[in-house]
Structure 1
Protein backbone atom coordinates (compact mmCIF):
# COMPACT_ATOMS: atom_id res chain seq x y z
CA UNK A 1 0.00 0.00 0.00
CA UNK A 2 0.97 3.64 -0.40
CA UNK A 3 -0.77 6.82 0.67
CA UNK A 4 -0.05 10.54 0.67
CA UNK A 5 0.23 11.94 4.16
CA UNK A 6 -1.54 15.21 3.32
CA UNK A 7 -4.78 13.29 2.78
CA UNK A 8 -3.81 10.52 5.24
CA UNK A 9 -6.29 8.14 3.61
CA UNK A 10 -4.49 4.98 4.72
CA UNK A 11 -7.71 3.01 5.08
CA UNK A 12 -6.55 1.35 8.30
CA UNK A 13 -8.35 1.30 11.63
CA UNK A 14 -5.50 3.31 13.20
CA UNK A 15 -2.81 5.64 11.85
CA UNK A 16 0.32 3.48 11.34
CA UNK A 17 2.92 6.28 11.45
CA UNK A 18 4.05 5.88 15.06
CA UNK A 19 4.07 2.10 14.73
CA UNK A 20 6.47 2.43 11.80
CA UNK A 21 8.81 4.81 13.67
CA UNK A 22 9.46 2.35 16.47
CA UNK A 23 10.81 1.46 18.93
CA UNK A 24 11.21 4.92 20.44
CA UNK A 25 12.91 5.80 23.74
CA UNK A 26 10.73 7.48 26.34
CA UNK A 27 11.81 10.86 27.64
CA UNK A 28 10.37 11.10 31.16
CA UNK A 29 10.58 14.85 31.49
CA UNK A 30 10.78 16.48 34.92
CA UNK A 31 10.33 20.24 35.14
CA UNK A 32 9.21 22.93 37.56
CA UNK A 33 6.97 25.94 36.99
CA UNK A 34 7.51 29.53 38.08
CA UNK A 35 5.54 28.86 41.27
CA UNK A 36 7.78 25.94 42.19
CA UNK A 37 5.27 23.20 41.29
CA UNK A 38 7.03 20.11 39.84
CA UNK A 39 5.78 18.48 36.66
CA UNK A 40 6.51 15.00 35.32
CA UNK A 41 5.39 13.67 31.95
CA UNK A 42 6.54 11.00 29.46
CA UNK A 43 7.29 11.88 25.84
CA UNK A 44 7.99 9.27 23.18
CA UNK A 45 9.08 11.90 20.66
CA UNK A 46 12.46 11.94 22.38
CA UNK A 47 16.04 11.16 21.44
CA UNK A 48 19.70 12.13 21.62
CA UNK A 49 20.82 14.18 18.64
CA UNK A 50 24.50 14.85 19.43
CA UNK A 51 27.21 13.38 21.66
CA UNK A 52 29.88 16.10 21.48
CA UNK A 53 28.44 18.11 23.12
CA UNK A 54 25.48 16.12 24.40
CA UNK A 55 22.14 17.38 23.07
CA UNK A 56 18.67 15.86 23.32
CA UNK A 57 15.31 16.70 21.81
CA UNK A 58 11.71 16.06 22.76
CA UNK A 59 8.52 16.99 21.00
CA UNK A 60 5.07 17.75 22.35
CA UNK A 61 1.71 17.61 20.63
CA UNK A 62 0.20 20.94 21.75
CA UNK A 63 1.75 23.48 24.09
CA UNK A 64 1.82 21.56 27.37
CA UNK A 65 3.13 22.33 30.84
CA UNK A 66 6.49 20.70 30.12
CA UNK A 67 7.16 23.06 27.22
CA UNK A 68 6.14 26.16 29.18
CA UNK A 69 8.20 25.14 32.22
CA UNK A 70 11.29 24.43 30.11
CA UNK A 71 10.99 27.83 28.46
CA UNK A 72 10.28 29.70 31.70
CA UNK A 73 13.00 28.11 33.84
CA UNK A 74 15.40 27.09 31.07
CA UNK A 75 16.00 23.57 32.37
CA UNK A 76 14.51 20.11 32.84
CA UNK A 77 15.49 16.52 33.62
CA UNK A 78 14.96 13.30 31.74
CA UNK A 79 14.69 10.09 33.79
CA UNK A 80 15.31 6.75 32.10
CA UNK A 81 12.19 4.57 32.21
CA UNK A 82 12.99 0.97 33.12
CA UNK A 83 10.53 -1.91 33.19
CA UNK A 84 9.92 -1.65 36.95
CA UNK A 85 8.79 1.98 36.56
CA UNK A 86 6.23 1.31 33.84
CA UNK A 87 3.09 1.85 35.92
CA UNK A 88 4.44 5.02 37.52
CA UNK A 89 5.41 6.37 34.10
CA UNK A 90 2.00 5.55 32.69
CA UNK A 91 0.24 7.18 35.64
CA UNK A 92 2.26 10.36 35.14
CA UNK A 93 0.81 10.69 31.64
CA UNK A 94 -2.65 11.55 33.02
CA UNK A 95 -4.02 14.89 31.86
CA UNK A 96 -4.28 17.09 34.96
CA UNK A 97 -4.27 20.79 35.82
CA UNK A 98 -0.93 22.67 35.98
CA UNK A 99 -1.04 22.92 39.78
CA UNK A 100 -0.98 19.11 40.14
CA UNK A 101 2.39 17.54 40.99
CA UNK A 102 2.60 14.38 38.86
CA UNK A 103 5.42 13.03 41.02
CA UNK A 104 3.00 12.90 43.95
CA UNK A 105 0.10 11.78 41.76
CA UNK A 106 2.12 8.78 40.57
CA UNK A 107 3.61 7.93 43.96
CA UNK A 108 7.13 8.85 42.85
CA UNK A 109 9.77 10.38 45.08
CA UNK A 110 11.87 13.26 43.77
CA UNK A 111 15.64 13.52 43.51
CA UNK A 112 17.06 17.05 43.34
CA UNK A 113 19.17 17.94 40.34
CA UNK A 114 22.83 18.72 40.97
CA UNK A 115 22.94 21.52 38.39
CA UNK A 116 19.37 22.24 37.27
CA UNK A 117 16.39 23.28 39.38
CA UNK A 118 14.09 20.55 38.07
CA UNK A 119 13.90 17.24 39.97
CA UNK A 120 14.17 13.76 38.49
CA UNK A 121 12.72 10.39 39.48
CA UNK A 122 14.28 8.95 42.62
CA UNK A 123 15.15 5.31 42.02
CA UNK A 124 15.61 5.59 38.27
CA UNK A 125 18.66 3.91 36.74
CA UNK A 126 19.90 7.08 35.05
CA UNK A 127 18.84 10.67 34.47
CA UNK A 128 19.95 13.59 32.32
CA UNK A 129 20.05 17.17 33.58
CA UNK A 130 19.33 19.48 30.67
CA UNK A 131 19.42 23.19 29.91
CA UNK A 132 17.01 24.62 27.34
CA UNK A 133 18.67 25.79 24.13
CA UNK A 134 15.86 26.35 21.65
CA UNK A 135 12.17 25.75 21.04
CA UNK A 136 10.96 25.13 17.50
CA UNK A 137 7.30 25.68 16.66
CA UNK A 138 6.55 23.34 13.77
CA UNK A 139 4.52 24.66 10.81
CA UNK A 140 0.86 25.18 11.63
CA UNK A 141 1.44 25.60 15.36
CA UNK A 142 -0.36 28.42 17.15
CA UNK A 143 0.76 29.50 20.62
CA UNK A 144 -2.33 31.63 21.10
CA UNK A 145 -4.48 28.49 21.11
CA UNK A 146 -1.81 26.07 22.33
CA UNK A 147 -2.43 23.86 19.31
CA UNK A 148 0.30 22.37 17.18
CA UNK A 149 3.63 20.67 17.62
CA UNK A 150 6.52 22.07 19.66
CA UNK A 151 10.09 20.81 19.89
CA UNK A 152 12.55 21.46 22.71
CA UNK A 153 16.27 21.12 22.03
CA UNK A 154 18.48 21.09 25.11
CA UNK A 155 22.08 20.61 26.16
CA UNK A 156 22.80 17.84 28.67
CA UNK A 157 24.88 19.42 31.45
CA UNK A 158 24.84 16.59 33.98
CA UNK A 159 24.30 12.83 34.02
CA UNK A 160 23.25 10.70 36.98
CA UNK A 161 23.84 6.93 36.88
CA UNK A 162 23.00 4.43 39.61
CA UNK A 163 26.40 2.81 40.19
CA UNK A 164 24.99 -0.70 40.42
CA UNK A 165 24.22 -0.55 36.70
CA UNK A 166 27.84 0.15 35.76
CA UNK A 167 29.38 -3.24 34.97
CA UNK A 168 32.86 -3.68 33.52
CA UNK A 169 33.03 0.02 32.72
CA UNK A 170 29.76 0.09 30.79
CA UNK A 171 26.20 1.16 31.53
CA UNK A 172 24.59 -2.28 31.45
CA UNK A 173 21.43 -1.99 29.39
CA UNK A 174 20.58 -5.67 29.84
CA UNK A 175 20.13 -5.26 33.58
CA UNK A 176 18.44 -1.85 33.28
CA UNK A 177 15.67 -3.20 31.01
CA UNK A 178 14.61 0.13 29.50
CA UNK A 179 11.13 0.56 28.10
CA UNK A 180 10.48 1.52 24.49
CA UNK A 181 7.35 3.01 22.98
CA UNK A 182 5.88 1.17 20.03
CA UNK A 183 2.80 2.08 18.05
CA UNK A 184 -0.73 2.47 19.36
CA UNK A 185 -0.77 1.66 23.12
CA UNK A 186 2.06 -0.88 22.89
CA UNK A 187 5.41 -0.96 24.67
CA UNK A 188 8.51 -3.14 24.56
CA UNK A 189 11.35 -3.98 26.94
CA UNK A 190 15.03 -4.22 26.01
CA UNK A 191 16.70 -7.10 27.87
CA UNK A 192 19.49 -9.66 27.60
CA UNK A 193 17.39 -11.90 25.34
CA UNK A 194 17.06 -9.30 22.58
CA UNK A 195 20.45 -7.54 22.68
CA UNK A 196 23.23 -8.47 20.25
CA UNK A 197 26.53 -6.91 19.17
CA UNK A 198 28.05 -6.53 15.73
CA UNK A 199 31.14 -4.72 14.46
CA UNK A 200 30.81 -2.19 11.65
CA UNK A 201 32.00 -3.55 8.29
CA UNK A 202 35.17 -2.47 6.49
CA UNK A 203 36.10 -2.57 2.82
CA UNK A 204 39.28 -3.82 1.18
CA UNK A 205 41.41 -1.95 -1.36
CA UNK A 206 39.11 -3.09 -4.14
CA UNK A 207 36.13 -1.55 -2.40
CA UNK A 208 34.54 -4.86 -1.49
CA UNK A 209 33.16 -5.58 1.96
CA UNK A 210 35.45 -7.61 4.19
CA UNK A 211 34.20 -10.30 6.54
CA UNK A 212 32.95 -8.72 9.75
CA UNK A 213 34.91 -9.82 12.81
CA UNK A 214 33.34 -10.49 16.17
CA UNK A 215 33.23 -7.42 18.39
CA UNK A 216 36.33 -7.09 20.55
CA UNK A 217 34.53 -5.13 23.26
CA UNK A 218 36.06 -1.78 22.33
CA UNK A 219 33.68 0.90 21.09
CA UNK A 220 35.32 3.05 18.40
Structure 2
Protein backbone atom coordinates (compact mmCIF):
# COMPACT_ATOMS: atom_id res chain seq x y z
CA UNK A 1 0.00 0.00 0.00
CA UNK A 2 1.28 3.44 -0.95
CA UNK A 3 -0.31 6.88 -0.83
CA UNK A 4 0.64 10.55 -0.73
CA UNK A 5 -1.29 12.48 1.96
CA UNK A 6 -3.42 15.22 0.44
CA UNK A 7 -2.62 14.14 -3.12
CA UNK A 8 -3.42 10.45 -3.44
CA UNK A 9 -6.22 8.53 -1.63
CA UNK A 10 -5.13 5.68 0.63
CA UNK A 11 -8.15 3.59 -0.31
CA UNK A 12 -8.68 2.32 3.23
CA UNK A 13 -11.76 2.64 5.48
CA UNK A 14 -9.69 4.73 7.93
CA UNK A 15 -6.64 6.95 7.49
CA UNK A 16 -3.60 4.96 8.77
CA UNK A 17 -1.30 7.93 9.50
CA UNK A 18 -1.82 8.18 13.26
CA UNK A 19 -1.50 4.41 13.63
CA UNK A 20 1.99 4.50 12.16
CA UNK A 21 3.56 6.58 14.95
CA UNK A 22 2.69 4.66 18.10
CA UNK A 23 2.46 4.51 21.03
CA UNK A 24 2.23 8.22 21.78
CA UNK A 25 2.45 9.54 25.37
CA UNK A 26 -0.55 11.61 26.38
CA UNK A 27 -0.08 15.21 27.39
CA UNK A 28 -2.79 15.60 30.03
CA UNK A 29 -2.38 19.33 30.52
CA UNK A 30 -3.91 21.45 33.27
CA UNK A 31 -3.98 25.23 33.01
CA UNK A 32 -5.69 28.16 34.68
CA UNK A 33 -7.23 31.03 32.73
CA UNK A 34 -6.63 34.69 33.51
CA UNK A 35 -10.12 34.66 35.04
CA UNK A 36 -9.15 31.85 37.42
CA UNK A 37 -10.96 28.97 35.67
CA UNK A 38 -9.05 25.67 35.79
CA UNK A 39 -8.87 23.63 32.59
CA UNK A 40 -7.79 20.07 31.87
CA UNK A 41 -7.39 18.41 28.47
CA UNK A 42 -5.44 15.51 26.88
CA UNK A 43 -3.21 15.80 23.82
CA UNK A 44 -1.82 12.75 22.04
CA UNK A 45 1.02 14.65 20.40
CA UNK A 46 3.18 15.13 23.50
CA UNK A 47 6.84 14.50 24.25
CA UNK A 48 9.90 15.55 26.23
CA UNK A 49 12.40 16.99 23.77
CA UNK A 50 15.54 17.45 25.89
CA UNK A 51 16.74 16.91 29.46
CA UNK A 52 19.22 19.68 30.30
CA UNK A 53 17.18 21.70 31.02
CA UNK A 54 14.09 19.48 30.79
CA UNK A 55 11.72 20.73 28.07
CA UNK A 56 8.36 19.27 27.03
CA UNK A 57 5.98 20.05 24.17
CA UNK A 58 2.39 19.36 23.22
CA UNK A 59 0.55 19.98 19.95
CA UNK A 60 -2.98 21.36 20.05
CA UNK A 61 -5.01 21.40 16.86
CA UNK A 62 -7.75 24.01 16.65
CA UNK A 63 -11.22 23.11 17.90
CA UNK A 64 -13.95 22.00 15.51
CA UNK A 65 -15.33 25.55 15.39
CA UNK A 66 -11.93 27.03 14.51
CA UNK A 67 -11.08 28.36 18.00
CA UNK A 68 -7.64 27.89 19.47
CA UNK A 69 -7.73 25.38 22.32
CA UNK A 70 -8.28 26.80 25.82
CA UNK A 71 -5.11 25.03 26.96
CA UNK A 72 -2.99 26.92 24.47
CA UNK A 73 -4.60 30.27 25.21
CA UNK A 74 -4.26 29.80 28.98
CA UNK A 75 -0.62 28.72 28.76
CA UNK A 76 0.28 31.70 26.60
CA UNK A 77 -1.61 34.24 28.68
CA UNK A 78 -0.46 33.04 32.10
CA UNK A 79 2.93 31.54 31.22
CA UNK A 80 2.25 28.27 33.07
CA UNK A 81 0.88 24.76 32.67
CA UNK A 82 1.12 21.35 34.33
CA UNK A 83 1.56 17.95 32.72
CA UNK A 84 -0.19 15.07 34.53
CA UNK A 85 0.60 11.46 33.67
CA UNK A 86 -2.42 9.67 32.22
CA UNK A 87 -2.76 6.08 33.45
CA UNK A 88 -4.95 3.08 32.74
CA UNK A 89 -6.86 3.60 35.98
CA UNK A 90 -7.61 7.19 34.92
CA UNK A 91 -8.57 6.34 31.33
CA UNK A 92 -12.25 7.26 31.68
CA UNK A 93 -11.42 10.68 33.13
CA UNK A 94 -8.82 11.27 30.42
CA UNK A 95 -11.39 10.46 27.75
CA UNK A 96 -14.07 12.62 29.37
CA UNK A 97 -11.74 15.60 29.60
CA UNK A 98 -11.17 15.47 25.83
CA UNK A 99 -14.65 16.87 25.15
CA UNK A 100 -14.81 20.39 23.75
CA UNK A 101 -16.20 22.23 26.76
CA UNK A 102 -16.73 25.98 26.90
CA UNK A 103 -13.85 28.02 28.39
CA UNK A 104 -15.78 28.63 31.62
CA UNK A 105 -16.13 24.89 32.35
CA UNK A 106 -13.79 23.32 34.92
CA UNK A 107 -12.97 19.81 33.65
CA UNK A 108 -11.72 18.75 37.08
CA UNK A 109 -15.30 19.05 38.35
CA UNK A 110 -16.82 17.41 35.27
CA UNK A 111 -14.46 14.43 35.59
CA UNK A 112 -14.72 14.17 39.40
CA UNK A 113 -10.99 14.67 39.80
CA UNK A 114 -9.26 16.13 42.84
CA UNK A 115 -6.96 19.12 42.64
CA UNK A 116 -3.53 19.15 44.23
CA UNK A 117 -1.85 22.52 44.72
CA UNK A 118 1.30 23.12 42.70
CA UNK A 119 4.33 24.68 44.39
CA UNK A 120 5.79 26.94 41.70
CA UNK A 121 2.90 27.54 39.29
CA UNK A 122 -0.78 28.41 39.65
CA UNK A 123 -2.51 25.59 37.69
CA UNK A 124 -3.46 22.64 39.92
CA UNK A 125 -2.22 19.10 39.50
CA UNK A 126 -4.44 16.04 39.08
CA UNK A 127 -4.16 14.53 42.56
CA UNK A 128 -5.01 11.05 41.30
CA UNK A 129 -2.15 11.09 38.79
CA UNK A 130 1.11 9.51 40.01
CA UNK A 131 3.46 11.96 38.25
CA UNK A 132 3.18 15.64 37.38
CA UNK A 133 5.46 18.31 35.89
CA UNK A 134 5.03 21.97 36.79
CA UNK A 135 6.00 23.91 33.67
CA UNK A 136 6.90 27.43 32.62
CA UNK A 137 5.60 28.34 29.17
CA UNK A 138 8.37 29.08 26.66
CA UNK A 139 6.87 29.67 23.23
CA UNK A 140 4.41 28.48 20.60
CA UNK A 141 5.14 27.46 17.02
CA UNK A 142 1.92 27.90 15.03
CA UNK A 143 1.75 25.79 11.86
CA UNK A 144 -1.03 26.55 9.34
CA UNK A 145 -2.97 23.53 8.17
CA UNK A 146 -5.77 22.49 5.88
CA UNK A 147 -9.35 23.07 6.99
CA UNK A 148 -10.62 24.41 10.30
CA UNK A 149 -8.89 21.87 12.54
CA UNK A 150 -5.67 21.44 10.55
CA UNK A 151 -3.85 24.44 12.01
CA UNK A 152 -1.84 23.41 15.05
CA UNK A 153 -0.16 25.18 17.97
CA UNK A 154 3.01 23.42 19.15
CA UNK A 155 3.55 24.61 22.72
CA UNK A 156 6.89 24.32 24.52
CA UNK A 157 7.50 24.54 28.25
CA UNK A 158 10.38 24.17 30.69
CA UNK A 159 9.88 21.75 33.57
CA UNK A 160 10.36 23.61 36.83
CA UNK A 161 9.29 20.89 39.28
CA UNK A 162 8.62 17.15 39.21
CA UNK A 163 6.20 15.31 41.51
CA UNK A 164 6.29 11.51 41.84
CA UNK A 165 3.99 9.63 44.22
CA UNK A 166 5.78 7.44 46.78
CA UNK A 167 3.74 4.40 45.77
CA UNK A 168 4.96 4.78 42.17
CA UNK A 169 8.60 4.17 43.16
CA UNK A 170 10.39 0.83 43.31
CA UNK A 171 12.66 -0.05 46.26
CA UNK A 172 15.71 0.50 44.01
CA UNK A 173 14.73 4.13 43.44
CA UNK A 174 13.32 3.71 39.94
CA UNK A 175 9.80 4.52 38.81
CA UNK A 176 7.58 1.43 38.74
CA UNK A 177 6.19 1.74 35.23
CA UNK A 178 4.28 -1.59 35.10
CA UNK A 179 2.51 -0.68 38.33
CA UNK A 180 1.59 2.78 37.09
CA UNK A 181 0.49 1.54 33.64
CA UNK A 182 0.94 4.82 31.72
CA UNK A 183 -1.72 5.34 29.06
CA UNK A 184 -0.64 5.85 25.44
CA UNK A 185 -2.52 6.72 22.28
CA UNK A 186 -2.61 4.57 19.18
CA UNK A 187 -4.58 5.31 16.02
CA UNK A 188 -8.32 5.25 15.40
CA UNK A 189 -10.07 4.96 18.81
CA UNK A 190 -7.38 2.69 20.20
CA UNK A 191 -5.17 3.08 23.26
CA UNK A 192 -2.64 0.94 25.08
CA UNK A 193 -0.98 0.93 28.49
CA UNK A 194 2.54 -0.04 29.49
CA UNK A 195 2.44 -3.18 31.61
CA UNK A 196 5.68 -4.83 30.51
CA UNK A 197 9.24 -3.49 30.54
CA UNK A 198 12.50 -5.02 29.32
CA UNK A 199 16.03 -3.72 29.85
CA UNK A 200 18.60 -3.32 27.08
CA UNK A 201 21.79 -1.50 28.12
CA UNK A 202 23.04 1.10 25.66
CA UNK A 203 26.06 0.41 23.50
CA UNK A 204 26.95 4.12 23.47
CA UNK A 205 30.01 5.48 25.26
CA UNK A 206 29.68 6.68 28.84
CA UNK A 207 28.58 10.25 28.19
CA UNK A 208 26.02 9.17 25.61
CA UNK A 209 24.64 6.59 28.02
CA UNK A 210 24.21 9.22 30.70
CA UNK A 211 22.35 11.34 28.19
CA UNK A 212 20.02 8.49 27.36
CA UNK A 213 19.28 8.09 31.06
CA UNK A 214 18.39 11.77 31.13
CA UNK A 215 20.69 12.76 33.99
CA UNK A 216 22.43 16.15 33.50
CA UNK A 217 24.70 15.46 36.47
CA UNK A 218 25.89 12.09 35.13
CA UNK A 219 26.29 13.45 31.60
CA UNK A 220 28.50 16.26 32.94
CA UNK A 221 30.50 13.91 35.14
CA UNK A 222 31.10 11.53 32.23
CA UNK A 223 32.93 14.27 30.36
CA UNK A 224 35.58 14.36 33.09
CA UNK A 225 37.74 17.33 34.16
CA UNK A 226 37.84 20.21 31.71
- TM-score after normalising by structure 2: 0.84
Q: Is 1:177 paired with 2:181?
A: yes
Matching of residue 198 in structure 1 with residue 203 in structure 2 = no
Q: Which runs of 5+ in 1 are unaligned?
A: 204-218
Q: Which aligned segments of 4 or more residues in structure 1 are displaced greater than 2 angstroms?
A: 139-142, 200-203
Is the CA contact 1:141–1:150 (under 8 Å) kept in the aligned structure 2?
Answer: no
Preserved contact between residue 182 and residue 188 of structure 1 (Cα < 8 Å):
yes
CA distance in 1: counterparts of 2:132 and 2:12, whole angstroms: 38
CA distance in 2, matches of 1:133, 1:115: 15
Select 1:124's aligned residue among 116, 121, 129: 129
Aligned to 2:112: 107
| Contact persistence 2:39–2:71 (CA under 8 A) | yes
Greater helix percent: which structure?
Answer: 2
- Counterparts of 1:143-182 in structure 2 under 5 Å? 148-167=151-170, 168-182=172-186
8 Å CA contact 1:141, 1:149 repeated in 2: no
- Structure 2 CA distance for partners of 1:83 and 1:64, relative to 1, 3 Å: same
Instruction: Render the CA deviation track for 1:159-216: whole Å, top value 9, x for unaligned.
Output: 011012111111111111111100011010101xx3111122369xxxxxxxxxxxxx
Q: 1:8 to 1:55 in 2, by over 3 A?
A: farther
**Residues 144 and 150 in structure 2, CA contact (< 8 A), matched pair in contact too:** no
Q: Tell me, what secondary structure is at the counterpart of 1:78? A: strand
Correspondence for 1:209: none
Q: For residues 123 and 9 of structure 1, do their structure 2 counterparts lie closer, same or farther at Cα, with a shift above 3 Å needed?
A: same
Q: Secondary structure at the match of 2:95?
A: helix
Aligned to 2:24: 24
How far apart are the structure 1 equivalents of 2:6 and 2:203? Answer: 39
In structure 2, relative to structure 1, the CA distance for the partners of 1:198 and 1:146 (3 Å cut) is closer
Residue ranges of structure 2 left out of the alignment (5+ in a row): 63-67, 206-217, 220-226
